[in-house]
Amino acid sequence: MSSIFESDRIRLTSIKDDDLSQHADWLSDFSLQRLVNPGMSFPITAGDLRNPEGWFQSDLKNDKSQIFAIRTLQDNVFIGTSAIVDLNMWAHHAEIGINLSNPKYRGKGYGGEGMLLTMRYGFEQFHLNCIYLNVMSFNTRAIRLYEKLGFQHEVRERDVFFHDGKYFDQLVMGILSSEWEVLHGK
């Protein structure tokens, strides 16, 4: 590995203006967003993402967040995003998220690589003690990945999400820096 931002097959980069149309399409895909952003169920355009007063540009400029594009090393394909958000430098914790949006790259280990790079960035660059995430209880594929990466179940928030006529639980999972070091080294 030549950089904290690269693995064998992917790298984390900034999100470029050329990515915004594709990103908007992915954010407008309800079947995908119900897994990663359950409250985001409305069409979004590249213009919405470019709006300097909008939520996305605000997130990009927020000093408590770092949002990355995930790209393949071989052909530089934009396949999704990952982020460290709600960075709390006093308590040394932050939330992590990933959205492996390009369906051609799902189920092939790219999401795990993206998570590991983003986790490494959080632990090594910000000296975080804990990285946590929220995941809907019906997203069993993501839960298995997070468990494999070392995240522990911490909280179950019951019936917090209503979809398809049913309520679902939200799980909070976390990993401590000491657990990260044992599992993944420094």
**Residue 99: CATH number of its domain:** 3.40.630.30
2 occurs within a structural domain? no
How high is the pLDDT of residue 138? 87
Categorize the per-residue pLDDT at 1 as very low, low, confident or very high, splitting at 50, 70 and 90. very low
1 occurs within a structural domain? no
pLDDT, tens digit, 9 for 90 and up, residues 119-164: 999 999 999 999 999 998 988 999 999 999 999 999 999 998 877 7
Number of domains composing the chain: 1
Contact 95, 134 (CB under 8 A): yes
The C-alpha atoms of residue 150 and residue 32 are separated, in whole angstroms, by 24
Q: Work out the average pLDDT over 29-57.
A: 64
4 occurs within a structural domain? no
44 occurs within a structural domain? yes
80 occurs within a structural domain? yes
pLDDT, tens digit, 9 for 90 and up, residues 60-118: 677 788 989 999 999 999 999 999 999 999 999 999 999 888 889 989 999 999 999 99
3 occurs within a structural domain? no
5 occurs within a structural domain? no
Domain that holds residue 145: 10-184
3's tokens: 């950089």
